[in-house]
């Protein structure tokens, strides 16, 4: 096209044929045929199909050329012209020769060209065929033609056409892609797809706008001549170009509109898909919550075992109802949202409509379940209140019967008043009691379970029993009132005649048992006839039974409430710590600390839920026997020790996290007014509550079959509490390098003032601390005694509890004790290594000192017994008794806890140590109820006495208490063997026994020379002189614990009691019991001598000697080796 050997100026012939011009181009013959063909094909493609169909007019301008060139051009055109050729107009050469030649040769070669050719000599002739207005200026026409501009126009138009085509194809492909895209199954993928498609749409819109902009610019460029010259007349080709551009712009507009419409539908579908996915997501969440709510509601029992239980369930149901209402509102709102989607012509109507129906169906089911559960619970509460009302009426009636004093009913007015009181109470029966059992069962059939049926049966039985009791009392009162109406002759009582029931011995017994004096007076007071006395006794027993039942009911109710509280804590707090939904609320300090916070509460709950509560319920009808239940489960109850030991760690963790959102949310869900810390204290409160209930039950069970079991259960519970308390101190010890568990069980612990003395050679060295005592906290274990320093801690709660820094320890296998130190009744000595190291310990009170001395003695006695048994086992085959064994006796007063059974006492008599302590060591208890009495009290005749495993005289272990003659301590007099513990011979290497002289050397003084000894103690000794007495007057047995004696009987004093009563043994009948001291006359008083074991350096056998001048005794046993 740039060579310009062929142009299409845009003119038209007379018939509208497009005019193509081949201007002068001398090198036309040199242009390759392919180029000519391409140019001709391109130019013939430009005009419209209608114009091309008429045929082209080809003007060949060869005025400056030769005939040969004209002929060659015509031949090439004839062979290469692609379109319909209407006419060929040739401007032949203008030279004379060439014109003449061309005329001549054209005539001969005219048929050769196969097309209509007209040879023209000038442009004037050309105008005869074509209007000059359709010709360019070089052909004598008026049409302006610029070949470069024409090429530029054609390039722009064709580029625009190509852009339009490409854009349309791209939009078509994009539309196909969108139509074929599958909709995602989740909201996030739908959002991503919508975002991606929107981005592509925006890019397409940008390309479309570029094409439109380019088309508008091209249109303005075509119209530019008209804007500059309004009279400008466009050629036909220019007009076709203008039409083409306008047509392409129209196509673009149509394509854009179609694309926008398609995108609107596609984006709407994607948005509906996103709405559907959100709806489905919310549906699954709400449906799951509805299922959970329905499941929880199904788990709510519509029956209950007590009014409190029913109220608790109703409260929880109301709480769930509030939460369920919010959930139901959410579900119905979601269903309404689904309806709106359907109304907006959502494409997934078939999927949305069933879900909306399902939501409404579940909501209706939950609402119906809530109404049903609530209605049944209200019915259950109504039944419980009716049963409780009837039961309370029965209980109040029993109390009314129990509180009517028998003595007041002996008069006519009193009997009538009591009778009216009964009748008034019976008038209220219709308002409180149940009448028809079958009607009750029919009325409350929907809420009845086996437990409730049993309760109904029990209430009706109790009503029947109470009404029967009332009827009996009415009959009795009517008889009494009738008797009082008869005149009675007054009889003056004989003052000299005394009833056996009011003897002085009985009065003493009543004073000893003051707690039961009121009951005893009511039961044993003389009445007018035997029947009335029997009725009074029966009523008192009935009253005590009622009180026992009340205590048992309190025990069971509080136990059930305790189990429910534990379950509430474990489900409402502990389980929520594993709930993923609550995980964001849990602080980092609480993560993986559930065991620290709750300790072994799950184990405690399982024990009470599965075992202990059921065991207690088995004793509902026999509360006096419940002590057996505690004794059977005493080992299980020791789990509280681990909980209490963990309590400081738990409380410390709680203080760190108490304000966190997790606990607040849990407390809000449970609707607890108190925080978790109050519920974590429940196990500690519960284990201390048992001993209070047992004490109360024991008070109303005197003389019952299970009284001893209750006493033993109370002692065991108190032992657990003591062990728990001791263990709380034990875990606070710091600085001890060993394992505290290796020291055996912790027996006692307490704070003392301590002085120390050390012996170097024959001289004593007193620490500076002797003049200012050290404050030490002592821990007595089975194998060691620990000395610690108490340190107060700053903080709150358990963190404020003291800690104990370990300072010193003594092995109990090398320890000795002196029970009185320097005459101070609050001091005692603990020493070892033959008094090379002495610890003077001062207790806060004499009673605490006595308890510690007794406990240390008990430990040493047990060790001595174990050592003796082992020694006798090894040497039993080689030991022979010595004839000198009858010369001296050593007495050991064994003590034992008063809670042990007689059977155990009989079995242990066989294994009791055969050594007997000095008779002067006998002591009477300060109170008959003490389980362990001190061997050295104010009545003791010994001013100072040491006891040690290094010595084996003056040994005692508790055998009985002063509560009853069945538990009286007994003595065993055993003749000593010159080879103690069955050894044939002792030498210095195997036995080191300090003599009296050695004792005085170690101590520096004897008790007789001790300036600290007081005359008061001697007076006490004279007051209670252990020995034999004769009875001066007959005395009959007035009570179960007293002893019948006759004048002249010889008795052995065992111990002194209160109010002038002595506990003695009748040597004639071998019976024991209490007698009046004023009825005894001393005939034999044992001396104040004490025994000690002594040995010489060269002796082969030990000699047992007695010294009457020594009141201080200790022995050494540290070097005995089997």
Summarize pLDDT for 1060-1116 with one digit per residue, the tens. Answer: 788 888 888 888 888 887 777 766 444 333 333 333 333 333 333 333 333 333 333
If one compares 342 and 948, the residue with the highest pLDDT of the two is 342
Comparing 148-152, 691-695, 806-810, which segment has the lowest mean pLDDT?
Answer: 148-152
Buried b vs exposed e over 166-195: b needs ≥16 C-beta within 10 Å?
Answer: ebbebbeebbeebeeeebbeebeebbebbe
Asked if the model's pLDDT at residue 1026 lies above 70, the reply is no
Here the contacts of 144-149 (C-beta below 8 Å, separation 24 or greater) are 145/7, 145/9, 145/10, 147/1, 147/4, 147/7
The pLDDT tens digits of the residues spanning 602-656 come to 999 999 999 999 999 988 888 989 999 999 999 999 999 899 989 888 988 998 8
Q: Is the pLDDT of residue 96 over 50?
A: yes
Q: Quote the distance between the C-alpha of residue 229 and its chain's center.
A: 97
d(CA 418, CA 421): 5
CATH class of 1027-1085: mainly beta
3-class secondary structure per residue, 812-868:
HHHEEEECCECCECCEEEEEECCCCEEEEEECCCHHHHHHHHHHHHHHHHHHHHHHH
Q: Give the pLDDT confidence of 553-583 residue by residue, as tens digits.
A: 899 999 999 999 999 999 999 999 988 888 8
For the chain, helix (H) and strand (E) counts, in that order, are 31, 25
Please name the fold of domain 153-278. Answer: Methane Monooxygenase Hydroxylase; Chain G, domain 1 (1.20.58)
- Average pLDDT value for residue range 481-491: 51
Res. 238 pLDDT band, cuts 50 70 90: confident
Is a pLDDT exceeding 90 seen at residue 923? no
Least confident of 717-731, 917-931, 1032-1046: 917-931
What is residue 26's predicted lDDT score, i.e. its pLDDT?
A: 80
Q: Hey, what CATH class is 547-724 in?
A: mainly alpha
pLDDT at 906: 42
Q: Which residue, among 980, 985, 952, has the nearest Cα to 1101 in the 3D structure? A: 985
Domain segments of the chain as ranges? 19-145, 153-278, 279-379, 389-484+504-543, 547-724, 752-762+817-1003, 1027-1085
The better pLDDT of the pair 905, 561 is held by: 561
Does pTM surpass 0.75?
A: no
Give the per-residue pLDDT at 693. 92
Measured at the CA of 1109, the angle between CA 1105 and CA 1110, to 5 degrees, comes to: 75
- Which helix (H) or strand (E) is 1023 found in, with range? helix 1015-1023
Three-state DSSP class for residue 1092 = strand
The pLDDT score that the predictor gives to residue 685 is: 92
- Whole-number pLDDT of residue 983: 34
Between 238 and 997, the more confident residue is 238
CB 119 within 8 A of CB 108: no
- Taking residue 767's Cβ as centre, other Cβ atoms within 10 Å add up to 12
Q: Specify the pLDDT at position 775.
A: 92
Q: To which H or E segment does residue 429 belong?
A: helix 429-432
306: left (phi over 0), alpha (psi -120 to 50) or beta: beta
Between CA 886 and CA 882 the distance in angstroms is: 9
For 422-437, write each residue's pLDDT tens digit: 888 888 888 888 888 8
Q: Tokens 């010709």 sit at which residue?
A: 135
Residues 1116-1120 have a mean pLDDT of 33
Torsion angle in degrees (nearest 10) through CA of 726, 729, 731, 734: -140
Residues 25-47 have a mean pLDDT of 84
**Binning pLDDT at 50, 70 and 90, where does residue 302 land?**
low
Q: Is the pLDDT of residue 441 over 70?
A: yes
3-state secondary structure string across 624-661: HHHHHHHHHCCCHHHHHHHHHHHHHHHHHHHHHHCCCH
E strands, 665-718, in order: none
Segment 861-885 mean pLDDT: 66
8-state DSSP, 446: G
For residue 1041, the SS3 value is coil
pLDDT level of residue 483 (50, 70, 90 thresholds): low
For residue 620, count other CB atoms closer than 10 A to its CB. Answer: 14
Q: Is 258 exposed, middle or buried (0-12, 13-18, 19+ CB in 10 A)?
A: middle
| Burial category of 1056 from C-beta neighbours within 10 Å (exposed 0-12, middle 13-18, buried 19 and up) | buried
CA distances from 957 to 510, 916, 974, 976 (A): 30, 11, 16, 19
Q: How confident is the model at residue 765 (pLDDT cuts 50, 70, 90)?
A: low
Question: Which of 697, 721, 722, 724 has the alpha carbon at shortest distance from 709?
Answer: 697
Count the alpha carbons within 13 Å of 962 in the hemisphere toward its beta carbon: 22
- The CB density around residue 208, as the number of other CB atoms within 10 Å, is 22
Domain boundaries 279-379, CATH class: mainly alpha
Determine the Cα–Cα distance for residues 643 and 134; give it in Å rounded to an integer: 117
CA distance 842 to 825: 9
Separation CA 940–CA 1113 (nearest Å): 14
Range with top average pLDDT, 56-65, 870-879, 901-910: 56-65
Nearest in space to 55 (alpha carbons), one of 134, 116, 122: 116
pLDDT value of residue 511: 38
CA dihedral 442, 445, 446, 450 (to 10 degrees): 170
Picking from 833, 767, 777, 841, the residue whose alpha carbon sits closest to that of residue 808 is 777
Say whether 279-379 and 153-278 share the same fold. Answer: yes
Q: How long a stretch of residues is the chain?
A: 1122
Assigned token pair, 11? 């003119």
Stretch among 194-198, 487-491, 732-736 having the lowest mean pLDDT: 487-491
Mean model confidence pLDDT for the chain? 74
C-alpha R_g of the chain? 61
């Amino acid at each position: 096209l740039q060579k310009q050997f062929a142009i299409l100026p845009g003119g038209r012939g007379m018939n509208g044929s497009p005019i193509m011009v081949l201007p002068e181009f001398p090198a036309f013959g040199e242009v390759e045929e392919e180029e000519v063909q391409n140019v001709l094909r391109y130019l013939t493609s430009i005009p419209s199909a209608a114009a091309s169909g008429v045929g082209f007019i080809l003007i060949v301008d060869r005025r400056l050329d030769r005939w040969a060139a004209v002929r060659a051009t015509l031949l090439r055109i004839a062979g290469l012209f692609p379109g319909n050729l209407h006419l060929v107009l040739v401007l032949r050469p203008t030279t004379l020769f060439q014109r003449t030649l061309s005329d001549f040769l054209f005539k001969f070669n005219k048929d050769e060209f196969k097309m209509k050719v007209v040879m023209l000599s000038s442009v004037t002739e050309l105008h005869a065929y074509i209007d000059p207005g359709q010709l360019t200026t070089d052909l004598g026409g008026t049409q302006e033609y610029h070949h470069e501009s024409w090429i530029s126009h054609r390039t722009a138009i064709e580029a625009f056409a190509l852009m339009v085509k490409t854009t349309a194809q791209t939009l078509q492909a994009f539309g196909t892609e969108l139509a074929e895209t599958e909709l995602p199954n989740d909201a996030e993928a739908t959002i991503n797809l919508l975002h991606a498609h929107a981005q592509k749409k925006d890019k397409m819109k940008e390309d479309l706008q570029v094409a439109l902009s380019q088309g508008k610019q091209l249109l303005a460029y075509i119209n530019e001549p008209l804007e500059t010259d309004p009279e400008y007349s466009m050629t036909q080709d220019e007009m076709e170009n203008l039409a083409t551009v306008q047509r392409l712009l129209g196509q673009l507009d149509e394509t854009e509109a179609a694309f926008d419409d398609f995108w609107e539908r596609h984006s709407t579908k994607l948005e509906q898909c996103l709405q559907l996915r959100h709806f489905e997501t919310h549906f699954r969440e709400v449906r799951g919550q509805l299922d959970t709510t329905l499941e929880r509601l199904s788990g709510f029992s519509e029956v209950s075992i007590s009014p409190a239980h029913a109220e608790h369930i109703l409260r929880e149901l109301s709480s769930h109802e509030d939460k369920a209402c919010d959930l139901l509102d959410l579900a119905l709102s979601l269903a309404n949202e689904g309806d709106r989607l359907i109304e907006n012509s959502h494409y997934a109507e078939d999927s949305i409509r069933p879900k909306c129906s399902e939501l409404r169906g579940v909501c209706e089911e939950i609402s119906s379940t809530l109404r049903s559960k609530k209605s049944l619970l209200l019915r259950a509460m109504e039944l419980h209140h009716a049963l409780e009302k009837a039961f309370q009426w029965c209980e109040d009636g029993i109390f009314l019967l129990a509180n009517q004093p028998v003595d007041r009913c002996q008069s006519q007015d009193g009997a009538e008043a009591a009778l009216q009181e009964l009748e008034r109470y019976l008038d209220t029966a219709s308002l409180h009691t149940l009448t028809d059992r079958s009607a009750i069962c029919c009325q409350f059939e929907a809420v009845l379970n086996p437990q409730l049926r049993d309760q109904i049966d029990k209430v009706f039985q109790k009503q029947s029993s109470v009404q029967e009791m009332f009827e009996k009392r009415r009959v009795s009162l009517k008889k009494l009132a009738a008797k009082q109406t008869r005149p009675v002759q007054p009889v003056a009582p004989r003052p000299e005649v005394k009833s056996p029931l009011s003897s002085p011995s009985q009065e003493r017994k009543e004073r000893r048992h003051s707690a039961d004096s009121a009951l005893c007076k009511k039961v044993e007071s003389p009445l007018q006839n035997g029947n009335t006395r029997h009725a009074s006794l029966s009523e008192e027993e009935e009253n005590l039974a009622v009180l026992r039942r009340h205590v048992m009911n309190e025990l069971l109710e509080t136990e059930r409430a305790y189990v429910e509280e534990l379950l509430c804590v474990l489900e409402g707090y502990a389980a929520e710590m594993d709930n993923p939904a609550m995980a964001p609320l849990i602080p980092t300090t609480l993560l993986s600390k559930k065991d620290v916070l709750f300790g072994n509460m799950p184990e405690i709950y399982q024990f009470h839920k599965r075992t202990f509560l059921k065991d207690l319920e088995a004793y509902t009808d026999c509360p006096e026997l419940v002590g057996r239940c505690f004794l059977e489960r005493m080992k299980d109850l020791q789990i509280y020790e681990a909980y209490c030991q963990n309590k400081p760690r738990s409380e410390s963790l709680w203080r760190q996290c108490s304000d966190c959102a997790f606990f607040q949310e849990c407390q809000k869900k449970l609707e607890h007014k108190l925080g978790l810390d109050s519920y974590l204290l429940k196990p500690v409160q519960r284990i201390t509550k048992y001993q209070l209930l047992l004490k109360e039950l024991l008070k109303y069970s005197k003389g019952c079959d299970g009284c001893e079991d209750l006493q033993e259960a109370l002692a065991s519970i108190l032992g657990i509490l003591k062990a728990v308390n001791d263990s709380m101190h034990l875990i606070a010890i710091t600085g001890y390098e060993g394992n505290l568990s290796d020291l055996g069980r912790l027996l006692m612990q307490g704070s003392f003032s301590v002085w120390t003395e050390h012996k170097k050679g024959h001289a004593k060295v007193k620490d500076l601390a002797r003049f200012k005592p050290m404050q030490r906290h002592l821990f007595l274990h089975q194998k060691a005694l620990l000395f610690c320093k108490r340190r107060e801690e700053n903080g709150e709660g358990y963190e404020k509890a003291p800690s104990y820094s370990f300072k010193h320890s003594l092995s109990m296998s090398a320890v000795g004790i002196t029970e009185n130190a320097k005459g101070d009744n609050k001091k005692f000595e603990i020493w070892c290594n033959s008094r090379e190291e002495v610890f003077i310990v001062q207790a806060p009170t004499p009673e605490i000192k006595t308890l510690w001395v007794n406990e240390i003695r008990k430990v040493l006695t047990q060790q001595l017994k174990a050592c003796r048994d082992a020694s006798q086992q090894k040497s039993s085959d080689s030991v022979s008794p010595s004839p000198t064994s009858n010369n001296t006796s050593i007495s050991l007063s064994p003590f034992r806890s008063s809670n042990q059974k007689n059977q155990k006492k009989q079995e242990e008599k066989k294994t009791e140590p055969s050594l007997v302590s000095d008779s002067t060591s006998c002591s009477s208890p300060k109170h008959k109820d003490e389980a362990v009495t001190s061997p050295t009290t104010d009545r003791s005749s010994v001013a100072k006495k040491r006891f040690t495993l290094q010595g084996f005289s003056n040994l005692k272990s508790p055998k009985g208490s002063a509560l009853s003659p069945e538990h009286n301590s007994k003595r065993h007099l055993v003749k000593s063997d010159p080879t103690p513990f069955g050894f044939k011979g002792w030498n210095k290497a195997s036995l080191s026994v300090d003599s009296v002289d050695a004792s005085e050397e170690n101590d520096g003084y004897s008790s007789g020379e001790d300036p600290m000894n007081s005359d008061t103690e001697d007076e006490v000794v004279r007051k209670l002189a252990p020995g034999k007495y004769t009875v001066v007057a007959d005395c009959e047995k007035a009570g179960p614990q007293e002893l019948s004696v006759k004048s002249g009987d010889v008795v052995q004093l065992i111990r002194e009691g209160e109010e002038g009563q002595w506990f003695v043994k009748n040597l004639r009948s071998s019976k024991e019991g209490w007698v009046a001291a004023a009825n005894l006359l001393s005939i034999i008083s044992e001396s104040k001598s004490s025994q000690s074991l002594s040995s010489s350096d060269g002796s082969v056998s030990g000699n047992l000697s007695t010294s009457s001048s020594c009141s201080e005794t200790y022995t050494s046993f540290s070097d005995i080796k089997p």
